[in-house]
Chains A and B, each alone.
Chain A
Amino acid sequence: MIKTAVIGLGKMGLSHAAIVGAHPEAKLSAVCDTLSLMLSGVKQYNPSVSAYDDFNKMMEQETLDAVFVATPTKLHYRMVKAAIEKGIHVFCEKPFSLTLEQGRELVDLAAQHKVVNQVGYHNHFIGTFREMKRLLAKGIIGTPFHFTGEAYGPVVVRSKSGSWRSQAAEGGGCLFDYASHVLNLIQEVIGRPVSVKGTLLKKFYSREVEDAVFSSLILKNGLSGTLSVNWSDETYRKMSTSLMILGEKGKIICDATELKIYLKEENASEGLSKGWSIKYITDLALPVNFYLRGEEYSAQVDYFIENVKNRTPGNINTFEQALYTDSVIEMLIKDGKE
């Protein structure tokens, strides 16, 4: 059994803790949070899990194989570093780091100590986005012309706010919270952005941070496209993320539920007819043993635990990939301020 701890029992931490708790090859040994209500709940209902309000104390007292770091972004560096130095495998929530220097240090440290390292960009465990990546790698739309990456949702829809997500210095804001997902998807599915232009960081309701991000991204292969992200759009029930790519032979539109493919000519080897084809998540979802909020949340934990068990490094959502996303975020901040 992989002895595991979850640090930070917010939305993601609780989710990870439950998935680890149900995992046949992992044991939820400890949790750590500063909110006493959470800890008393754990103590009262599952005494087999040790509950800590102090990270250092937990690290001293527990013998762990793996940790999930799901604290606010500003705390990632210290906690991830401490874990790696003890040879503990680390799953860290996104966004990865507040500064590129710290992020780079963690990437190097993880390589040096040979620990499995993964960041929670869960969209890569959604079957539709995976299939899109596979089809693009096969070149089914020919030379690409343009792409868009979008995400909309109803996080901040009024002028009041009280959590760390409203503090830019702590890694809050639509750019860190929402846009990071889209940037990471673009980076891994289409290509790595190398420069950005015309960035708009707009405030609608928030005072401290941006509520929306619009920009033009130029990728390594020269392809350019548009980023459009807004977390203050209440016409969406929940976060909705999508990618579109247009090329000389057709077009692909992808979200978490559907993959829509338009081809100018039939592609027999892929079984795709001329015109529109639609693939649904019901056929593409990754099978999981325990389902909590979407297959992707369980599948990413399964992948991490599997790599820890087999001592394999893994190539989906590595620290290095997440650090690259952080570097694009920094480009956007710099461009947006100019």
Chain B
Amino acid sequence: MDKVLFGDNQFFAVNHLSDEKSREQARRFKDAQSIMYVLDQAIDLGINTFMCTTHDRIAEITEIMRNNSGRYSRFNIFPCMPYAHKYANAVTELGPLGAMKQYLPGNIFSFAAKGGLALLNKDFSKFMEMLIDAELKMFRGINTPVIFIQNVLTDMILGLGANEVFAEYHAYIKKKYNAEPGYITMNMPKLLDVLESVGIENPVICSSINKVGFRMSGGRELYEEYLRNRTFRPVAMQVLAAGALRPKEAIDYLGQFPKIESVLFGASSKSHIRETKELIEAALS
């Protein structure tokens, strides 16, 4: 994995510090072109990995990349699935079955032909595989060496104690996509324990890691202990604690944990991207 992973929150009006700022971002990044413009700036600065949610608009970005394969042939995307609001809104609007009809691959008839609901009732993992395939369709022809589950889903599986789902996900991503499975979580210590318990070794785990303990459930001390003593491949996110910390002190903090392989961050201006990238590369060297 690259040390620097460029994130997508700024493109999709996700701002943990300010709802107002997030709406400003929505106005700025109103189409794929405006996103591509910033992404190209990041690429020109030497960033080679884009870590992004399976938001509908990403399909437009990957389309642009496929059509300009010369420029983007070595560029990596780390997909993070699913984009949960898409499903949550669909479930509220259409009910659970309606939402399934809308988002499962093909139409409901081909779904039924593959065994449909009756099959799913017997074999839940088939259902998971169909959803994964549906989510990842937009990345065909793109390098996706690491594929993440979003934190809402990771942490829901974790809370429900459905631990074997992780093992099945892990195996499926390796087999079908020849990629490294990754896990985004807000509960890193608990997740690592569970992943190890189902036989997953040295997993890629992306979690909040910051000096103030923001969104580090279980507490900062426990996180630090895991970062020092346990075997996994940590990716740090929310390193600025949603903006509560200044970049220099925030990223310097990461330097004490040599195990951290990558840092995920998002920015919208070239100068911010350059500054943060340089700080990360210095801290993780």
Contact = CB atoms under 8 A, between A and B. Distances in A.
A35 B217 contact: no
Contact of B124 (A14, A41, A165): A41
Interface stretch (A100-108, A186-194, A243-251, A283-291): A283-291
B95 A258 contact: no
A163 B94 contact: yes
A49 B13 CA distance: 38
A20 B160 CA distance: 8
Contacts of B124: 37, 40-41, 44-45
B231 interface: no
Contact of A11 (B17, B20, B88, B158): B88
Interface in B148-174: 152, 155-165
B187 A290 contact: yes
A237 B98 contact: no
A225 B103 CA distance: 41
A24 B187 CA distance: 14
Contacts of B155: 18, 290-292
A228 interface: no
Contact of B121 (A15, A40, A238, A293): A40
B89 interface: yes
B62 interface: no
A28 B161 contact: yes
Nearest to B245: A282
A292 B26 contact: no
B17 A37 contact: no
B18 A45 contact: no
A19 B159 contact: yes
B162 A46 contact: yes
A155 interface: yes
Interface string A260-295: 000000000000000000001111010011111100
A281 B157 CA distance: 26
A293 B152 contact: yes
A284 B96 CA distance: 34
Contact of B152 (A240, A242, A292): A292
Contacts of B121: 36-37, 40
B187 A11 contact: no
B156 A14 contact: yes
B159 A290 contact: yes
B241 A22 contact: no
Contact of B160 (A40, A46, A160, A235): A46
Contacts of A22: 158-159, 187, 190
A282 B17 contact: yes
A290 to B, nearest CB: 6
A283 B119 CA distance: 48
B98 A255 contact: no
A217 interface: no
Nearest to B216: A291
A21 interface: yes
A280 B244 contact: yes
Interface string B91-106: 1111111100000000
Contacts of A289: 217-218
Interface in B194-225: 212, 214-215, 217-218
A292 B127 CA distance: 23
B23 interface: yes
B92 A237 contact: no
Given A45-B124, A289-B218, A291-B155, A237 B12 contact: yes
A10 B121 CA distance: 17
Nearest to A153: B89
Given A37-B117, A237-B13, A240-B19, A288 B92 contact: no
Contact of B96 (A35, A240, A258): A35
Given A235-B26, A238-B85, A18 B159 contact: yes
16 contacts: A17-B160, A22-B158, A37-B117, A40-B121, A41-B124, A41-B162, A45-B162, A45-B163, A45-B164, A46-B162, A161-B94, A162-B98, A163-B93, A177-B92, A236-B23, A292-B186
Interface of A: 10-11, 14-15, 17-22, 28, 35-38, 40-42, 44-46, 48-49, 154-156, 160-166, 177, 235-238, 240, 242, 255-258, 280-283, 285, 288-293
Given A42-B162, A163-B92, A290-B159, 5 more contacts: A11-B91, A41-B127, A49-B160, A166-B93, A237-B26
